[in-house]
Amino acid sequence: MIYQKQRFRINHQNVTLLGVIPSRDKIKIGIIVQIIQKHDQRSGNLTEGTVKRILTLSNFHPYGIKVELNSGKIGRVQNII
């Protein structure tokens, strides 16, 4: 008897206090988002701004898609406004 490995696709949907972390296909240049910057990860402070560039290439990241805002701040998207 030959056993085959079964592969299961796990749908990772990380949930923040305000909702599900958006994937890259939902984030467009020019939309208003809330990001969490590296130095704010412990406190959970969110920064709001308009997306200038999308930095993460993959469609999903467990901590959020990394973007640059028009203000020059860089962080991971937690919510779309």
**pTM for this one?**
0.77
Residue appearing with tokens 């984030």: 27
The per-residue pLDDT for range 7-52, each reduced to its tens digit, is: 544 444 455 555 689 999 999 999 999 999 999 999 999 999 999 9
Q: In this predicted structure, what is the pLDDT of residue 4?
A: 53
The residue ranking higher by pLDDT, 77 or 16, is: 77
For every residue of the chain, which 3-state class applies, written as one string?
Answer: CCCCCCCCCCCCCCECCCCECCCHHHCCCCCEEEEECHHHCCCCCCEEEEEEEECCCCCCCCCCCEEEECCCCEEEEEEEC
Domain range list for the chain: 24-80
Rg (CA), the chain: 16
Question: For domain 24-80, is the CATH number 2.60.420?
Answer: no
